[in-house]
Amino acid sequence: MKLSPLGRTDLQVHELCLGGNVFGWSANEQESFEVLDAYAAAGGNFIDTADMYSSWHEGNVGGESETIIGKWMASHGNRSDIVVATKVAKHETRPGLSAANIIAAAEDSLRRLQTDYIDLYYAHHDDETVELEETLAAFDQLVSSGKVRYLGASNYTAPRLTQALEISRALGLAEFTVVQPNFNAIIRDEYQGALQDLCVTEGLAVLPYYSLAAGFLTGKYAPGVVIDSVRSDGMDDFTNARGWAIVEAIRDIAADHNVSMSCVALEWLRAQSGIAAPIASARTVTQLQEILQRVTLSESEVARISAL
């Protein structure tokens, strides 16, 4: 596993960004530490989380993932070796992208992460109730103060991202350099097209989330099979003829290479223009090993999945 430059930043990151959404949800603290230890042992250094992870779990309030990651880094004394990405806008007590909320939410995240800087800070979603100038000025303040190194935009449309870049340049503010869209072999329309064209033209690093379609592309789902999983209720959009055809193609290719289906699904993403590194999470070390696998897909294998 190698480290590569992340777009126009000076960050050197692992080719798999480890998703932290499961920490404090389907993986408890001990299980999370085991996954984090195994990821670091494999050379991994890039972790994605958010202030609202995992508020959807009964008994949680949000911030559980950041807290676990912070405890892990503190216990290992490895903060300087880890590239941490987190987000603002979706925590129910810190909603939106007003200047006051961004500054306050960043302080909350810094405290939970037990650090004095965030490597990559995302707007978790666009907030059209706040002027872009206000939002971008607040992010710039964090960068200027050294509390944030680089900025990212998650779930932005091409027109709004274009507008944000234009405003940042006109006002001399820190720009978004990383983009995080919902993109995988099944869900393609949120990235492919105008947003992809913009990211490639601007040299923005793209880190897709839901890279494995919430686990659907791992191979554990099949027609008529009931899966005991915290994510199984969200599969309705995938369990159709097209979804099963994509799964079948990935399964065939994985069998030909003797690798996991997760590996093939992630390699298909890496083959798409603009992609810097996919984001994928693992609840167990076994799952982590599957998403860390690498294989070289032929152009025809990539095209087979793309054609569906």
Please identify every residue annotated as catalytic: 53
Cβ proximity of 284 and 290 under 8 Å: no
Give dist(CA 6, CA 297) in Å, integer.
22
Instruction: Look at residues 13, 18, 3, 1 and name the one whose alpha carbon lies nearest to residue 287.
Output: 18
Give dist(CA 39, CA 190) in Å, integer.
29
DSSP string, the chain: --EEE-TTSS-EEESSEEE-TTBTTTB-HHHHHHHHHHHHHTT--EEE--TTTTTTSTT--S-HHHHHHHHHHHHHT-GGG-EEEEEEBEETTEES--HHHHHHHHHHHHHHHT-S-EEEEEESS--TTS-HHHHHHHHHHHHHHTSEEEEEEES--HHHHHHHHHHHHHHTPPPEEEEE-B-SSS--TTTTTHHHHHHHHHT-EE--BSTTGGGGGGT---TT-----TTGGG-TTTSSHHHHHHHHHHHHHHHHHT--HHHHHHHHHHTSTTBS--EEE-SSHHHHHHHH---PPPHHHHHHHHT-
